[in-house]
Structure 1
Amino acid sequence: MITISLCMIVKNEEDNISRCLISVRDIVDEIIIVDTGSTDKTKEIAGLFTNKVYDFEWINDFSAARNFSFSKATKDYILWLDADDVLLDADRLKLKRVKEILDPSVDVVMMNYNYAFDEKGNVVLSHFRERLLKRAKNFFWSDPIHEFISFEGKVVNSDITITHKKAHTNNRRNLNILEAMLAEGKEFSPRNMFYFAREKLNVNEYEGAIEYFNKMLDSEKGLPADCITSCIYLAKAYKAKDDRKNMLKALIRSFEYDTPRAEICCQLGYFYKDIEDYKRAIFWFDLAMKLEKPESKWGPILHEYWGFIPSIELCLCYYKLGNIEEAIKFNNKAAEYKP
């Protein structure tokens, strides 16, 4: 049986950290908490679970903090979580099983990450992350914000899911760190460009978002999943500026990177629905319905676009065209996804 070190970085997480640690404390063999400047009871609460609570001076660099936490690990594998993550009961059992049977030759175990939910608790956004890593491989984090691990070796997908219980956001924090990188003259990688553009979009700075999404795409060095997502976000930025011509170009550009995805097809459906061209809207929503949903790809999946959204939009489009029979058919289909 392998042993596991849990490594976490935290700040002002008194409302979340207990829930996270309770969900894994009987599975991991070591809990390492790195605090980056809490002013609440986070450290006190963490101390109820482990005596390995460390202070780390915040330097606007998430990778530095995470690498420090990894440096304190002593077990075979490292599991990393954020304070607002949790393992549900079924996934606790799966992680226990993986711990018992994992082949020690495995370097990385991927786990699904359910990141966002609708008002009824249905998953609307998920993706795979590298969650369990062999300590002897000395994997490390890169980039000050939206940090990542460049992993290699023997990688396996698991059926374990980490559930994100998002409690609070800081809309400017990430953007401030990226802007500081630019001010210091640091050269942005395509990945940096993607996240910088996304942060600009999140605060409605559309010109900056458009500039950096295009820079990222024009670099021709971005990951296919990031390029496709960039096209979706770029179209959103153009729509906010009422630039429909470039909005359409951005969506069509996504086909350079992979076969059509339901998320893109639905955006194209919306494009034509907005101008009451319901026949062309139906073409794209119908295509979204016919695509096979990817279940094991590591990129993000917006689940509603692979069933519910095209169904309800087809219902509306057929209704507008006076085809009540088809409208009822797709209304019933939508109800299968959201009873």
Structure 2
Amino acid sequence: MISLSLCMIVKNEQEVLARCLESVEDLFDEIIIVDTGSIDSTAAIAKGFSDKVYDFPWVDDFAKARNYSFSKATMDYIMWLDADDILLPSELEKLKELKRTLSPDTDVVMMKYNVGFDEGGRVTLSYCRERILKRQNNYVWQDPVHEFIPLWGKIIDVDISITHGEKNRTHSDRNLKIYERMLSQGGELSTRGKLYYARELKTHGHMQKGIGQYKAFLAAGDGWVEDCISACFELSFCYEDDENIFNTLCQSFQYASPRAEICTRMGEYFFNRHRFKEAIFWYDLSLKLEKPTGWGFILEDYWGYIPAIQLCLCYYKLSDIKKAIEYNDLAAVFKPDDPSVLQNKQYFQKYNSL
């Protein structure tokens, strides 16, 4: 059986740190916690779970802090978590089994990361992350914000999910300030950094600057395919004019087969122009696509609920009530307690004889 270190970087996480560590009880052979300047009781909580708690001065660089935490690990493999992550009991058992059975020639283990949820707790956004790494390979985190590890070696995917536990977190401008400070000091963005800087700009309402960064990322020509598709999808929301919205969505088709979020957005484009038959084509295509199984972002609602509920509305606009009911029922398969689904069901009761 392999030995396993947990490495974490934390700052002012007194509200969530104990929950995270309790969720992985008895899994790790050592726990490394690096505090980057907490002024609350985070450090005291950390010391209740580990005797390997270190201070590291915050220098506006997540990668440096993570690399420092990795440097303190001594076990065969390293796993990382954020303080607001948790491992659900079912996933903990699967991870314990993986620890018992992992082949020692494995270099990297990829796991699903569930980070977005609806009101009912259903996952709406997930993607895969490098989660367990062989220590002797000396993997290095890169990029000061939205850090990542360039991967090599034998990489395996496992059916284990980490849950990002803080579902209602507000978006601070911390990351945006780090990017802008770095750029003001003459720093350069990696290709991936251009995308994540664009996302920060968009999130904080700086649409014109965001457009420029999205374009810079796409123009670089060496971005990961899944990131390029996501960039086209996100960029389409930055525009207000029809031509740029349409052309940006079409641009995504050059990278890979269509994704449901792109097709659903195309459906929205035509729906908003009262071209319901064209909208139906794109929403229907969204439902027929095969969901990718790679490491990219999966926006779950676009692979079922959203196109189904929109098809209901399209057919209602075309006075095809039978089809509208059919697609509302399909939407209910994905979200049976959704307010729109329930409201539609109540409205369609008068058509039950159809």
Q: Please state how far the C-alpha of 1:228 moved relative to its aligned partner.
A: 0.6
Pick aligned residue for 1:280 from 278, 281, 301 = 278
Number of the residue aligned with 2:345 = none
Q: Secondary structure at the match of 1:216?
A: helix
Amino acid at match of 1:319: Y
Number of the residue aligned with 1:220 = 221
Number of the residue aligned with 1:83 = 83
User: Take 2:241 and 2:36, find their aligned partners in 1: how far apart are those partners?
Assistant: 43
Number of the residue aligned with 1:127 = 127
Number of the residue aligned with 1:47 = 47
User: Take 1:159 and 1:57, find their aligned partners in 2: how far apart are those partners?
Assistant: 36
Aligned 1:130-279 pairs, distance under 5 A: 130-166=130-166, 168-238=169-239, 242-279=240-277
Deviations 1:171-209 (A, max 9, x none): 211111111121121222221110111111001111001
User: Take 2:177 and 2:120, find their aligned partners in 1: how far apart are those partners?
Assistant: 33
Identify unmatched segments of 5+ residues in structure 2. 337-354
Amino acid at match of 1:159: D
Amino acid at match of 1:254: S
Number of the residue aligned with 2:344 = none
Distance 1:57 1:170, change over 3 A: farther
User: Take 1:162 and 1:290, find their aligned partners in 2: how far apart are those partners?
Assistant: 28
- Bigger drift between 249-258 and 216-225 goes to 216-225
Number of the residue aligned with 1:18 = 18
User: Take 1:216 and 1:115, find their aligned partners in 2: how far apart are those partners?
Assistant: 24
User: Take 1:223 and 1:258, find their aligned partners in 2: how far apart are those partners?
Assistant: 11
What stretches of structure 1 move > 3 A for 4+ residues in a row?
A: 167-170
Q: Secondary structure at the match of 1:298?
A: coil
Amino acid at match of 2:65: A
Number of the residue aligned with 1:325 = 322
Distance 1:316 1:170, change over 3 A: closer
User: Take 2:190 and 2:13, find their aligned partners in 1: how far apart are those partners?
Assistant: 31
Q: Please state how far the C-alpha of 1:169 moved relative to its aligned partner.
A: 3.9
User: Take 1:76 and 1:25, find their aligned partners in 2: how far apart are those partners?
Assistant: 19
Q: Secondary structure at the match of 2:116?
A: strand
TM-score w.r.t. the length of structure 1 is 0.97
Q: Secondary structure at the match of 2:95?
A: helix
1:171, 1:202 within 8 Å by CA — same for their partners in 2?
A: no
- Bigger drift between 162-171 and 105-114 goes to 162-171
User: Take 2:333 and 2:198, find their aligned partners in 1: how far apart are those partners?
Assistant: 36
2:62, 2:144 within 8 Å by CA — same for their partners in 1?
A: yes
User: Take 2:286 and 2:170, find their aligned partners in 1: how far apart are those partners?
Assistant: 32
Q: How many residues align?
A: 335
Q: Secondary structure at the match of 1:149?
A: coil
Deviations 1:301-321 (A, max 9, x none): 000100111100000000001
Q: Please state how far the C-alpha of 1:220 moved relative to its aligned partner.
A: 1.1
User: Take 2:175 and 2:109, find their aligned partners in 1: how far apart are those partners?
Assistant: 27
User: Take 2:218 and 2:128, find their aligned partners in 1: how far apart are those partners?
Assistant: 23
Amino acid at match of 2:265: Q
1:193, 1:213 within 8 Å by CA — same for their partners in 2?
A: yes
Q: Please state how far the C-alpha of 1:25 moved relative to its aligned partner.
A: 2.9
Deviations 1:196-233 (A, max 9, x none): 11111001111001111111111111111111111011
Q: Secondary structure at the match of 1:33?
A: strand
User: Take 1:200 and 1:276, find their aligned partners in 2: how far apart are those partners?
Assistant: 31
2:32, 2:73 within 8 Å by CA — same for their partners in 1?
A: yes
Identity of aligned residues (%): 53
Amino acid at match of 1:68: Y
Number of the residue aligned with 2:340 = none
User: Take 2:171 and 2:120, find their aligned partners in 1: how far apart are those partners?
Assistant: 24
1:9, 1:36 within 8 Å by CA — same for their partners in 2?
A: yes
User: Take 1:335 and 1:169, find their aligned partners in 2: how far apart are those partners?
Assistant: 29
Pick aligned residue for 2:297 from 296, 300, 312 = 300
User: Take 1:25 and 1:65, find their aligned partners in 2: how far apart are those partners?
Assistant: 24
Q: Secondary structure at the match of 1:142?
A: coil
2:10, 2:82 within 8 Å by CA — same for their partners in 1?
A: yes
Q: Please state how far the C-alpha of 1:338 moved relative to its aligned partner.
A: 0.8
User: Take 1:202 and 1:171, find their aligned partners in 2: how far apart are those partners?
Assistant: 10
1:25, 1:49 within 8 Å by CA — same for their partners in 2?
A: no
Q: Please state how far the C-alpha of 1:170 moved relative to its aligned partner.
A: 4.5
Number of the residue aligned with 1:93 = 93
1:29, 1:75 within 8 Å by CA — same for their partners in 2?
A: yes
> What RMSD in Å do the two structures reach over aligned CA positions?
0.9
Amino acid at match of 1:129: R
